[in-house]
Copies of this chain bind each other. A is one copy, B any other.
Amino acid sequence: MSFVYGRNITISIFGQSHSPATGVTIDGLPSGFKIDFDTLEAFMRRRMTGQGAHTTARREPDTLEFLSGLVNGVTCGAPLTVVIRNTDTRSSDYDNLRDVPRPSHADYTAFVKYGQARDVRGGGQFSGRLTAPLCASGGICLQLLKREGIEIASHIAQIGNIRDRLFNPANISAGDINNLKSAAFPVLDADAGERMLAAIEEAKQDHDSLGGIIECAATGLPPGIGEPMFGGMENRLASVLFAIPAVKGVEFGNGFAAASLRGSENNDSFIIRDDTVKTSTNNHGGILGGITSGMPVIFRAAIKPTPSIAREQQSVSLSKKSETTLVITGRHDPCIVPRAVPCIEAAAALALYDAFLEPGREIFSL
Contact = CB atoms under 8 A, between A and B. Distances in A.
A101 to B, nearest CB: 6
A182 interface: no
Contact of A227 (B2, B83, B105, B252): B2
A180 B358 CA distance: 36
Nearest to A275: B321
A254 interface: yes
B112 A223 contact: yes
A204 to B, nearest CB: 11
Interface in A305-356: 305-309, 311, 313-316, 318, 321-323
A258 B31 contact: no
B1 A7 contact: yes
Interface in A19-34: 19-23, 25, 27-28, 30-33
Nearest to A13: B229
A89 interface: no
Interface string A197-227: 0000001001011111100000000011001
Contacts of A117: 31-33, 71, 74-77
Protomer copies: 4
Contacts of A243: 229-230, 232, 235, 290
A45 interface: no
Contacts of A235: 238-240, 242-243
Interface stretch (A55-63, A166-174, A183-191, A276-284): A276-284
A12 interface: yes
A269 B113 contact: no
A49 interface: no
Contact of A119 (B76, B300, B321, B359): B76
Contact of A23 (B16, B81, B206): B81
Contacts of A250: 238, 249-251
A149 interface: no
A362 interface: yes
A357 interface: yes
A160 interface: yes
B359 A28 contact: yes
A326 to B, nearest CB: 9
Given A103-B269, A109-B223, A112-B365, 4 more contacts: A3-B231, A14-B25, A77-B117, A359-B361
